[in-house]
């Protein structure tokens, strides 16, 4: 049986979230602090908290308390960098494969409505995925990992959970939610996170888009 439907997460799945974060860090902090931007990104890598809290947390791990004016400056620059996000070539290949194979594609993403729809626009996602196939938690009042948002997708899009796959970067929200909903799952584990002890493994784990495409080609 082939794959009939694939739904994707957005952040750190369809694009690399470290790029806008590190770019904003370089523009705001490079002349003031000697901490590499990628180290700040990794230190502040906490899911589902505002970016202003992430940057505070990142610097605190290096024993530095940045000022509120620095936080606000970073936030403004970061918002600008978010408008420049792009799909990787590898992810374009994945989406094009889905289109050519006639696989239903959609999105389930956590976040505030305006922010997530702005990302959809910046990534030009509607070239591959119709707007009507996109679910944003901020519009629905339910968010991953609650299986309710996956069941909402089933009902709205007429999906059968047995033939539906979810691809995401975060185990706790994307993969746990998909498993709880009875979907197949592929963990796009860009950051080489460790599977928590005692937790159910996804159907597949890959570290990049090439590995992801290879799995899809094998189905």
- pLDDT tens digits, residue range 53-103? 999 999 999 999 999 999 999 999 999 999 999 999 999 999 999 999 999
- pLDDT tens digits, residue range 104-124? 999 999 999 999 999 999 999
- Cα separation, 1 vs 163, in Å, equals 8
219 pLDDT tier (thresholds 50, 70, 90): confident
Residue 194 buriedness (CB in 10 A; 0-12 / 13-18 / 19+): exposed
Q: Would you state the pLDDT for residue 62?
A: 97
Mean pLDDT across 16-32: 97
Mean pLDDT across 169-191: 97
Mean pLDDT across 131-137: 98
- pLDDT tens digits, residue range 3-20? 999 999 999 999 999 999
Residue 1 above 70 pLDDT? no
Backbone angles phi, psi at 177, to 5 degrees: -65, -45
- Name the nearest CA neighbour of 170 among 153, 183, 197, 189: 189
Mean pLDDT across 32-38: 96
CB 150 within 8 A of CB 166: yes
Q: Would you state the pLDDT for residue 48?
A: 77
Q: Would you state the pLDDT for residue 113?
A: 97
Q: What is the residue-averaged pLDDT of the chain?
A: 96
Residue 138 above 60 pLDDT? yes
Residue 197 above 90 pLDDT? yes
Q: Would you state the pLDDT for residue 190?
A: 95
Helix (H) or strand (E) holding 96: helix 89-101
pTM here?
0.95
| Own/partner pairs, 85-88, CB within 8 angstroms, 24+ separation | 85/15, 85/19, 85/20, 85/119, 85/122, 85/123, 86/15, 86/122, 86/123, 87/14, 87/15, 87/123, 87/124, 87/125, 88/15, 88/16, 88/209
Domain 5-16+88-218 has CATH 3.40.50.1000: yes
């Amino acid at each position: 049986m082939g794959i009939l439907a694939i739904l994707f997460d957005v952040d750190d799945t369809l694009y690399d979230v470290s790029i806008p974060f590190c770019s904003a860090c370089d523009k705001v902090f490079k002349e003031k602090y000697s901490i590499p931007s990628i180290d700040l990104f990794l230190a502040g890598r906490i899911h589902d908290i505002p970016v202003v809290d992430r940057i505070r947390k990142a610097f605190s791990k290096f024993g530095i308390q940045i000022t509120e004016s620095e936080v606000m400056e970073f936030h403004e620059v970061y918002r600008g960098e978010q408008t420049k996000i792009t799909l990787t070539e590898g992810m374009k290949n994945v989406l094009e494969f889905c289109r050519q194979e006639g696989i239903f594609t959609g999105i389930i993403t956590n976040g505030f409505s305006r922010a997530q729809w702005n990302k959809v626009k910046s990534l030009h996602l509607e070239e591959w995925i119709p707007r009507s196939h996109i679910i944003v938690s901020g519009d629905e009042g339910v968010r991953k990992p609650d299986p309710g948002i996956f069941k909402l997708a089933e009902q709205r899009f007429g999906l059968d959970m047995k033939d539906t796959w979810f691809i995401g970067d975060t185990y706790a929200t994307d993969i746990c939610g998909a498993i709880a909903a009875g979907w197949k799952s592929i963990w796009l584990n860009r950051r080489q996170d460790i599977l928590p002890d005692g937790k159910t493994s996804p159907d597949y784990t890959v570290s990049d888009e090439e590995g992801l495409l290879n799995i899809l080609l094998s189905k």
